[in-house]
DNA sequence: TTCTGTGCAAATGATTTGCAGCCAG
DNA sequence: CTGGCTGCAAATCATTTGCACAGAA
């Protein structure tokens, strides 16, 4: 599998868009992320490395990541659009604690299979899915 | 099971909030909905019946529906908060066509069971979940 | 009477866009 | 060179809030 750097550069050149220092910087910061960062968070981190960067550039670049397949937009329920790194990460769903915000990435192959089956039953060709399980985690329950 | 009218009135009185003509009107319109209306859509319909109503009232009232358990907030991916009527409708998930927006309500008991199991495995007490399956519906595929 | 509710308009917060200059290809 | 990119600020869009008045309990 190609590394994200290559994927992005190839995506850009295929679309006759350009690689720039800003995009490179945002990409580096994004690839170092472990969670599901929102544009503001990334903007804050990127700004520490390059004071002159504008937040519109961060928004625009994240959208490029999404188009190029490096990231996926997710919505956890606060009003923010978060970007989930897709590279290296295999598909997963989310188990979210409603009290403390703890977010565990989960996958259950049996569920995945049933989802395909369910879609097929309605004559849909599945392109993707999102599943969010909400609850209270163990430590919050004990408080 | 109590009818939604009663549920709402009881919720209000329990919280020492008041039933008003505006809330009643918005409730009537909302109960007549079949889909997953966004505030703007409801505002438009309500406005036809009462020109003087303000959109802030619609937003505030929808939030009350959500608190009282009559509705559930859902996010389909456009930037809108939609309200899904909960009364009469049993729980369901969504199968959404990415081309035409067709939205089929689906439920698969086996998936529901596996979700509980998955949560339990991570020591979570589930309070709810949302599952969105995205794909292309049959008619769009044939075009 | 006493709060809560309402319409209106202004405020907010996230995201987008217009524009003049900058820079990668 | 030249069209895509950038920072900035202004513009949008959905949603929220402040306020003075209206109306339910």
pLDDT tens, residue by residue, A18-39? 999 999 999 999 999 988 999 9
Higher pLDDT, A131 or A99: A131
The yes-or-no verdict on residue B1 having pLDDT over 80 is: no
Q: Provide CB contacts within 8 A for B30, sequence distance 6+.
A: B37, B42, B62, B65, B70, B71, B83, B85
CA angle B35, B39, B42 (to 5 degrees): 65
Q: Work out the average pLDDT over A74-85.
A: 88
**Interchain contact, A125 vs B141, CB within 8 Å:** yes
Straight-line distance from CA A28 to C1' C13, in Å?
A: 27
pLDDT at A89: 66
Q: pLDDT for B26-69, tens place per residue? A: 999 999 998 899 999 999 999 999 999 999 999 999 999 999 99
Q: Is the pLDDT of residue A100 over 90?
A: no
Q: Angle, nearest 10°, between helix axes B55-68 and B39-49? A: 120
Inspect the interface and report whether the beta carbons of A111 and B115 lie closer than 8 Å. yes
User: What is the model's pTM?
Assistant: 0.74
Q: What is the DSSP string of B80-102?
A: --EEEE-SSPPP-EEEEETTT--
Number of residues written out for chain B: 143
Of B97, B126, B137, the CB nearest to A133: B126
What is the predicted pLDDT for the residue at B132? 93
d(CA A11, CA A5): 10
Place of tokens 């589930």: B126
- Report the pLDDT averaged over residues A67-72: 92
Whether B81 sits with its Cβ under 7 A from any strand C atom: the answer reads no
Counting one residue from chain A and one from chain B, the pairs whose CB atoms sit within 8 A come to 104
Q: Which of A140, A139, A7 lies closest to A70, judged by CA?
A: A7
What tens digit of pLDDT does each residue of B72-87 get?
Answer: 998 887 889 999 998 7
pLDDT in tens, B88-101: 667 889 999 988 88
Average pLDDT over residues A70-82: 88
A131 touching B (Cβ < 8 Å): yes
What Å value separates CA A21 and C1' C25? Answer: 14
Considering only the beta carbons, identify the residue of A75, A104, A130 that sits closest to B122: A104
Distance A65 CA to C15 C1' (A): 16
Q: How far apart are CA B121 and CA A135, in angstroms?
A: 13
Give percent of chain B with pLDDT exceeding 70: 98
Q: How far is CA A136 from CA A56, A77, A111, B118, B119, in A?
A: 36, 15, 21, 13, 10
B-chain residues near A124 (CB < 8 A): 95, 97, 104, 133, 135-138
B130 touches chain A (CB under 8 A): yes
- Per the CB < 8 A criterion, the answer to whether A31 and A25 are in contact is no
Mean pLDDT of B117-134: 91
Q: How far apart are CA B124 and CA A136, in angstroms?
A: 5
How far is A59 from A33, CA to CA, in rounded Å? 16
CB contact under 8 A, B104 and A97: no
Output the pLDDT for position B88: 67
């Amino acid at each position: 599998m190609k590394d994200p750097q290559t994927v992005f550069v190839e995506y850009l050149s295929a679309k006759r868009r350009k690689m720039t220092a800003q995009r490179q910087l945002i990409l580096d910061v994004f690839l170092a992320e472990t969670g599901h960062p929102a544009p503001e968070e990334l903007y804050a981190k990127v700004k520490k490395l390059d004071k002159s960067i504008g937040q519109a550039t961060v928004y625009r670049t994240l959208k490029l990541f999404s188009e190029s397949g490096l990231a996926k937009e997710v919505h956890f329920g606060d009003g923010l659009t978060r970007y989930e790194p897709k590279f290296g990460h295999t598909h997963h769903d989310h188990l979210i604690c409603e009290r403390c915000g703890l977010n565990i990435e989960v996958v259950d192959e049996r569920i995945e299979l049933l989802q395909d089956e369910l879609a097929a039953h309605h004559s849909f060709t599945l392109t993707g899915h999102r599943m969010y399980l909400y609850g209270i985690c163990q430590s919050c329950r004990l408080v």
